[in-house]
Structure formats: C-alpha cells, structure tokens
Amino acid sequence: MKSTFFTQKFVVVLISTIYLVFRIVNATLVSPFYDEFDSPQYFILKFFPSFRTHGITLVYSIIKDEFLITIFQAFVGSLVWIYLWISILRMISNRYLRVVFTFLYFVLASSSVVIEHDSSLLSESLAISSTIFLFATSIEYFLGKKKYSQRSLYFFGLGVLWFLSTKSSNSLIFPLLGSILLITAYQKQKYKKLFLPSLIFTLFGLFFLANSLSSDITKTLTTSGTINNRLVFVESWKNELLDSGYPEKAFSVWNDFSQKNLGLPPDQAVVSMPEFKNWWENGGESYLLKFTLSNPDYAILAPIALPIFSDDLNFRKTLLSGWSQGTDLTSEYKGFNKSLVTRTLFWPDEPEKAYLVLSISLLITGISLLSLLIMNYPKEFNLIIISFVLILIWSYLNWWFGSKPADMARHNLSAAVMLRVISIFAVSIAFDKLLGKRKLT
C-alpha cells in the first residue's frame, strides 16, 4: 500500500510541476497584451465606485509591472487548475478512468484559449482562475471526504467572494450563490459559529454587487453597444427605442465611428453626445432592463437564436458563438508568436466545428446527468445541474447587459471553459459510478 500511495503521489506532483512550469515558461515567451482602451483602468485602484472590479485592480495596482503580472496570472492559474484536477481525481476510483480523465482535463487546461490570457492585461485570466477555484471548492464542500466541514465551507465562501470580485457580471449572481452557501451552511453548521463569518461574507458580497451596479461608465457603454449591435436591426425594437426618446442622430454617429478611425470607439462616441446624455438622464439608464422585461421573446430566445428576429443578425452575436469559439489572441496578436500553446480539440478554428464540439459537450453532460439520476447519485447530479443552471443565468445576464459582438467570446469565456470542464467532470463521474456498480454485481 505504501508503495502504491507513493507512486500515485509522485505522479500527481510530477504532472502538477510540469503544468506549472509549462504555463510560467509560456508567459515568459510572450509579450504582454495591453489593450489601450481597457487595460489602463485595471491599474487604478478605487474603493467605491470602481469602474473595474477590485479582484483585478488590487492585484494590478500592487504589482504594477506588466511582465510580473503575467507571471503572477500564470502561477495562480496553474494552481487553481491543479487544485480542481486533484479534487475531481479523488472522486474517481477506476485507475484507467483516472488516466483518461487526466488526459482530457489537461488538454483543455493547456489550450491556448485558457493559457493565452495569462499574458493579457485584462480581467480574463483571473476571472477564469476564480471560476475554476469556485468549482473546485464547491466539489470539496458538497462532495469531498470532508464535505460540509467548517474548513470546506470557508474555502467555498472564499471561492464565491473571489469569483464575485473579478468581473462585474459575476457579482450579479451573488443573490443566488450567496443563498446556496448560507442556506447549506446553516443546515449543516452550528448557528453561533456562523454568525460572524456569514455577516462578513454577506457584506463583501453586497459590496461587490453594489460596486458593479454603481458605474455609469460601464452601463452607458454597454447600453450604447447593445442598442447599435442588436436593437437597430429589428424594426419594432428600433421604433420602441425611438419612442423612448433615444436620439436618431446616434445611429449615424455610431456608423461613422465604426467605419473610420476617428479617435474614439463607436460606443464611446455615442455616449459622449449631449443628446444621449439627456436621454440617459430621462429614463435611458433603465431602458435595457425595461426592454428586456417587456419583450420576453428577446429575453429568452435572442441570446441563443438572435437570427430568427432578422436576416441582418447572425449567430456570432449570440451566446452560442461565445460558448463555442473562445478567444484567439495567440494568432491575432504578433506578441504571441513564440507561444507554446495551441487551440486543441476543445476549440476548433472553424465555427461549424466549434459549434459541433459545444453540442457534443452539452450532449455528454446531458447523458451523464441522466445516468447519475438513474443510478441514484443525487448529490453529484445536483451539483452538476446547479452549476449548469448558474452558468446559463450568468451568461444570459452577461448577454442582456454587456456582451457586444466583438466582446462576445471574451465576456463569456469563463462560461465557455466551464461548460467543457463540467462535461469532462460529469462523464468521468458517471462512468466511474457505472463501473463501480458493475464491479459490485
């Protein structure tokens, strides 16, 4: 037994070390990607209101050096992916399945779509890392050997707070994540021990949520982008918009700044208009929310099937595009030409193949969930289905109030990665349970 344990431990340490070194070495070979419009704001730390989230601005403002930030992001990213791998590996009994799972897992974890953001001075790297860490802590809390322990609860709470702090859209699902954590905590732990930790957790969660809702800069830009990339293409939506007092002149301003480099991005040019500011102050601030609530077809169908509303709209403006294709800094940015990573089988270059991979991933998740339900493994089933539903809600919120076509892949990258992680996790657990039952019979 000692020899077997030592061998397993040695393999885990070896694979972890190789992965960690690989990501850090890759970060040293790549020039940091600095977006002249977005990146500067991540280096400015403000308490409240903060244009960018504190989980990013705190790190960037402390480290300051661009190269060191990329190394830090590669290091943190490596650790959380290793942590999740070990958390899932502990749940798989069949040794051959452990090998298959490890192979698929690290193919995904080593893909350019994941690793290229180590060298990007934007929020994506730490946002993905916080999402992976949150999923790992949820596994430990709900399914691990020390499930519902005070230690696993604190780690899960830390995972939720880190996740909330890395993107404004993440904080919007605090009411759901916070409720799940607090309800299960008070069911399993003593009330007296939880009062202070739950109070601290709630205050931080509400702070991140309030901060994400406080920035007019973010809301004006996303409103302008959403209007001019979606609503203007459907006559009834456009008429409803104009009836609200939206300046018709803004359409031509958007087109002019989109077609030529006039010194400002088109969304910024529109929100700088006095007419837009007047519309914003007289009800425009809440227009997207009111429009989404009053148009259920837009709210439910448009995020995944936008082309059904107009021939001028395409699937690149839907969540399906963001979920399927990911980003491609490695081929688009010349500073990445020495990168060691490729897209891998999880992220094909061609859109049709990318949609196929996404479809297969969703199908595998569905079949695995059905298998777990039939075999009566409710805890595993519940964790996967809740995670999947949260991803859908999170993605929909992102699409309704944030994702322009150009940013669709970037803004939904964490969700795209998690859909693949959950697929690998679900099929591995389902097969392991099935093989275990057959062995018993």
Does pLDDT of 3 surpass 50?
no
Both tokens of 157, joined, read 């709470």
268: helix, coil or strand?
A: helix
- The single-letter code of the amino acid at 65 is D
Looking from the CA of 374 toward its CB, the CA atoms found within 13 Å total 11
373: helix, coil or strand?
A: helix
Both tokens of 149, joined, read 């322990």
Does pLDDT of 171 surpass 70?
yes
The answer to whether 84 touches 136, Cβ cutoff 8 Å, is: yes
- The single-letter code of the amino acid at 29 is L
68: helix, coil or strand?
A: helix
Q: Is the peptide bond before 49 cis (omega within 30 degrees of 0)?
A: yes
Q: Summarize the confidence of residues 124-144 as an average pLDDT.
A: 94
pLDDT at 191: 67
The answer to whether 375 touches 433, Cβ cutoff 8 Å, is: yes
In degrees and rounded to multiples of 5, residue 363 shows phi and psi of -65, -45
User: Residue 32 gets which letter from DSSP?
Assistant: P
pLDDT at 67: 95
Average pLDDT, the chain: 89
Q: What share of the chain is helix, strand, coil (3-state, %, to 5)?
A: 75, 0, 20
DSSP string, 301-313: THHHHGGGG-TT-
Does pLDDT of 62 surpass 90?
yes
Q: What is the pLDDT of residues 332-372, one digit of tens each?
A: 888 888 889 988 899 998 888 999 999 999 999 999 999 99
Does pLDDT of 407 surpass 90?
no
In the chain, pLDDT over 90 holds for what percent of residues? Answer: 54
Q: What is the pLDDT of residues 207-266, one digit of tens each?
A: 888 888 776 556 777 888 888 888 889 999 999 999 999 999 999 988 888 887 767 788
The answer to whether 322 touches 413, Cβ cutoff 8 Å, is: yes
Distance CA(319)–CA(403), nearest Å, equals 9
Both tokens of 106, joined, read 């690290």
pLDDT at 405: 60
pLDDT at 30: 93
Q: What is the pTM of this model?
A: 0.91
For 7, 57, 302, 313, 388, the CA distances from 293, given in Å and listed in that order, are: 57, 33, 13, 21, 23
Q: What is the pLDDT of residues 74-86, one digit of tens each?
A: 999 999 999 999 9
120: helix, coil or strand?
A: strand
Q: Summarize the confidence of residues 286-312 as an average pLDDT.
A: 91
pLDDT at 1: 43
Of the candidates 60, 81, 71, 70, the one whose C-alpha atom is nearest the C-alpha of residue 129 is 81
